[in-house]
Amino acid sequence: MSAEPAILDTARPVAARPPSDAWRRLFRHPGVLVGGFILLFMVIVGLCAPLLGTIDPSGINPTVRNRLPGFERTIRADDGTEIPFTFRMGTDSLGRDVYSRVLYGARVSILVGVIVAVISIVVGLVIGLIAGYVRWLDGIIMRFMDGLMAIPAILLAIALVSLFRAGLFSVIVAIVVPEIPRVVRLVRSIVLSVREEPYVEAAIMAGTPTPKLLIRHVLPNTVAPLIVQGTFICASAILIEAILSFLGIGIPPETPTWGNIMAEGRSLFRVFPHNIFYPGIFLALTVLAVNMLGDGLRDTLDPKMAQR
Amino acid sequence: MLSYILRRLVATVPVMLIVAVLVFLMLRLTPGDPAAIIAGDNANTEQVALIRTRLGLDQPIFVQFFIWLGNILRGDFGESFFFKKTVAELILGRLEPTLSLALFTIVIAVAVAVPLGVLAAYKQGTWIDRIVMGFSVMGFSVPVFVIGYGLIYLFAIKLNWVPVQGYQPLAQGFGGFIHRLILPSVTLAVIYIALIARMTRASVLEVLGEDYIRTARAKGQVEIKILFRHALKNAAVPIVTVIGLGIALLIGGVVVTESVYTIPGLGRLTVDAVLARDYPTIQAVILLFSLVYVLINLAVDLLYTLLDPRIRY
């Protein structure tokens, strides 16, 4: 009897946490530093948008339609006084201030990215654990996931938004669904390989109940790969949200999102390219930052995945 | 080999069946009368009644599924009440622009990405390698419509080399056809190049460490032949695999690119159908694109034996 706890005790640390110097390596990785810095900048821009010299991002002003960046005009402030204002990034065809819309747009993009990543990971983790552990359900779940994965992601998202009323929630659902099978596959493959590990076999022999086994021994192995996967999902979610909005089938057009600003600027692109380029640069930088962060996380937290 | 091909073909049936079930359920699980939804907002009661009998909506749901599936297998995707055409006609009319765009994109992407990847692997760790890898991360991050508008701005508006938008059918002359297709294809190719170049680099790097490469060098083989004949050939399987998987990205990109360049293809049709809530068309387009994706990846699997004689089924 006394041998069993000993096996479990020596086994657990191996299973549970990445090497302790992983965190130190993480903060020295150039991709993580640069990506993290840009991302932090975008988060601050989004959060502090009201303090950064913006006006109402949805405020329509017919007298200043289609102005180039740098246009100056006095506008009426909230308290009724006239104040001089510079439209740093120009205005769109409804006279809305593009600078304000771009800054507020950071909120929607980052929010969608984070929420989609969290939901996809949680749902995918649960389904993946079930598929990996309940043998008779495995076949059914994985065939279903194969079917979902056979539909190209953007196409599936487009089809799903067509079913609901346009809005933040339906866009999030539409982006989450195509991401889930990828998480399920990852989690299932981890469960299947962990199950063969001696310390898990030992735990099973010791009579550990299944839920405890999953939480104590299997779950910790999924943390690092899922953080990495979550980062990439976040990047692709930001992109897909912008694509849906750009195509005019995403978040309602009055909401300031980068995709919406660009969609609005399409018709007058020849004369006023700033409506596309400013939000485009912010969008590209944000996705680039998240991707760099993801690559860095993969290199440092999950060396096995980096070799693949 | 033949029995393997047959087995693989049969194995795609369940996958496509599940796609069909998902596409079918998409409409039936939304609240409301499916016949009215399919007929669209502008339909009259006769049209709705027609659909109701055609789809057997009074039958149990699994009978409905088989009626629907049977229609589709006979090439009857229903009627688009928005475009006033059968969906099959609609799709056939939109095939040429999309096929041309996709094929041209694949040719450009492979022609650029594979040499780039090989070069990056050969010059591993140098600034060339870093530029290629940096471009690859950029390619994944800059959205296809931003690239599209950037290229339009530079090459169509500022330099005036190519038309801004539009499509000219092949039948009206090859010159104009290619002239209008170049920019959209390059736009769409960027993300694909990023994907293929990255995989080529990784795959070639792995092979370059093998003994037979050292042997080839020892016998005085020219570097370029070592890279392209010895290394690339052995590195081919993962590269071809990622080209196949990348078709999913390509299909998503087609939808966006066709909207940016106003090309009247299947991608533009998909967006128009969603905007008009034209469900029979949406269903047909999803089924078609998924089938293409699955079949291309099947073809890729079968290519393995040609690329690598060591693989036997």
Residues 6+ apart with CB under 8 A from A143: B14, B15, B18
pLDDT tops 90 at residue A72: no
With beta carbons less than 8 A apart as the criterion, state whether B189 and B112 touch.
yes
Partner residues linked to A86 by β-bridges: A72
The pLDDT > 90 percentage for chain A reads 23
Distance CA A105, CA A283 (A): 9
The alpha carbon of residue A269 is apart from the nearest alpha carbon of chain B, in Å, by 8
Residue, of A303 and A121, whose pLDDT is higher? A121
pLDDT at A16: 44
Which of A151, A156, A269 comes nearest B149 by C-beta? A269
Query: CA-based angle A298:B253:A236, to the nearest 5?
Result: 30
pLDDT of amino acid A64? 65
What's the pLDDT at A18? 53
Chain B positions touching A143 (Cβ under 8 A) are: 14-15, 18
The rounded Cα B78 to chain-centroid distance in angstroms is 24
Provide the pLDDT confidence category of residue A9 given band limits of 50, 70 and 90: very low
Q: Is the pLDDT of residue A27 over 50?
A: yes
Q: Which residues of B touch A159 (CB under 8 A)?
A: 23, 26, 274, 282, 286
Q: What pLDDT band is residue A19 in, cutting at 50, 70 and 90?
A: low
**Which among A152, A163, A295 is the nearest to B293, CB-wise?**
A152
The DSSP H or E segment spanning A162 is none
Q: Residue B8: in which H helix or E strand, if any?
A: helix B2-28
Q: Which residue has the higher pLDDT, B195 or A308?
A: B195
In angstroms, the Cα distances linking B216 to B210, B219, B222, B227, B303 are 10, 5, 9, 10, 26
Cα gap A262→A277, rounded to integer Å: 8
**What is the distance in angstroms between the Cα of A216 and the nearest Cα belonging to chain B?**
35
Contacts of A105 in chain B (CB under 8 A): none
Question: What pLDDT does residue A183 have?
Answer: 94
What value does the mean pLDDT take over residues B106-111?
94
DSSP H stretches of helix in A48-134: 98-133
Whether the pLDDT of residue A87 is over 70: the answer is no
Among B residues 159-198, those touching chain A with beta carbons less than 8 Å apart: 164
Percentage of residues of chain B with pLDDT beyond 90 = 22
Nearest Cα of chain B lies from the Cα of A10 at a distance, in angstroms, of 35
Mean pLDDT over all residues of chain B?
Answer: 85
SS3 A86: strand
Mean pLDDT for B84-110 is: 91
The predicted structure's pLDDT at residue A11: 39
ipTM of the complex: 0.85
DSSP string, B142-193: S-HHHHHHHHIIIIIIIS--S-SS----GGG-HHHHHHHHHHHHHHHHHHHH
Of the pLDDT bands very low, low, confident and very high (cuts 50, 70, 90), residue A71 is low
At the top level of CATH, which class does the domain B94-307 belong to? mainly alpha
Does the pLDDT of residue A293 top 50, yes or no?
Answer: yes
Mean of the per-residue pLDDT values of chain A: 81
Question: What are the structure tokens assigned to A37, written together?
Answer: 């810095």
Higher pLDDT, B34 or A220: A220
Domains and CATH numbers, chain A: 28-63+98-307 (1.10.3720.10)
Indicate where chain B has its CATH 1.10.3720.10 domain(s).
Answer: 94-307
Q: What is the pLDDT of residue B287?
A: 92
DSSP code, position A122: H
Q: What is the pLDDT of residue B39?
A: 76
For residue range B227-283, what is the model confidence (pLDDT) as tens digits? 888 888 888 888 988 988 888 889 989 999 998 888 899 999 999 888 887 888 888
CB atoms within 10 A of CB A4: 13
Q: Flag whether pLDDT at A301 surpasses 60.
A: yes
> Which residues from chain B sit within 8 angstroms of residue A249, using beta carbons?
271, 274-275
Q: Are A106 and A42 in contact (CB under 8 A)?
A: yes
Q: What pLDDT digit, counting tens, does each position of A167-201 carry? A: 889 899 999 999 999 999 999 998 888 888 888 88
Tokens matching residue B278: 């034209």
Tell me if A151 and B22 make a contact (CB, 8 A cut-off): yes
Q: Which residue has the tokens 């694509």?
A: A243
- Count the Cβ atoms, other than its own, within 10 Å of residue A28: 11
Q: For residue B165, how many C-alpha atoms fall within 13 Å in the half-sphere facing its CB?
A: 14
Within B40-143, residue ranges assigned H as helices are: 45-54, 61-73, 87-122, 127-141
Chain A residues with CB inside 8 Å of B28's CB? Answer: none
**What part of A 24-43 touches B (C-beta under 8 Å)?**
none
Is B282 close to A273, i.e. CB distance below 8 A?
no
- Taking alpha carbons only, the member of B132, B148, B143 closest to residue B196 is B132
Mutation choice for B interface testing from A29, A109, A156 by most B CBs within 10 A: A156
pLDDT at B161 over 90: no
> Has residue A134 got a pLDDT over 60?
yes
**Which pLDDT score is estimated for A53?**
67
- Tokens read off for B291: 């089938």
What confidence tens digit (pLDDT) does each residue in B18-77 have? 999 988 888 777 767 777 777 777 777 887 887 777 777 777 888 888 888 888 888 888
pLDDT of residue A305: 53
pLDDT of residue A182: 92
Is the pLDDT at A84 greater than 70? The verdict is no
| pLDDT tops 80 at residue A79 | no
Cross-chain residue pair A151–B286, CB shorter than 8 Å: yes
Smallest CA–CA distance from A141 into chain B, residue: B18
Backbone dihedral angles phi then psi of residue B30, each to the nearest 5 degrees: -80, 140
Token pair, residue B127, equals: 């600034």
What span, in angstroms and rounded, lies between the C-alpha atoms of B306 and B313?
12
**The pLDDT of residue B110 is above 60:** yes
Cβ distance of A151 and B294 shorter than 8 Å: no
Chain B from 84 to 143: CB within 8 A of any A CB? 137-138, 140-143
Question: How far is B214 from B231, CA to CA, in rounded Å?
Answer: 11
| Contacts with B, A 218-237, CB within 8 Å | 235
- Over residues A158-174, the mean pLDDT reads 86
Instruction: For the beta carbon of residue B299, count every other beta carbon within 10 angstroms.
Output: 12
- Model confidence at A116, in pLDDT bands (50, 70, 90)? very high
Cβ contact, residue pair A147, B143, below 8 Å: no
Tell if the CB–CB gap between B271 and A161 is shorter than 8 Å. no
Residue of A nearest to B28 (CA): A163
Q: What is the dihedral of CA A249, A255, A261, A267, to 10 degrees?
A: 60
Quick check: A6 pLDDT over 70? no
B53: Cβ–Cβ under 8 A, 6 or more apart, which residues? Answer: none
Chain B residues touching A144 at Cβ < 8 A: 18
Placement of tokens 């990215």 in the chain: A113
Inform me whether the C-beta atom of residue A148 falls under 8 Å from chain B C-beta atoms.
yes
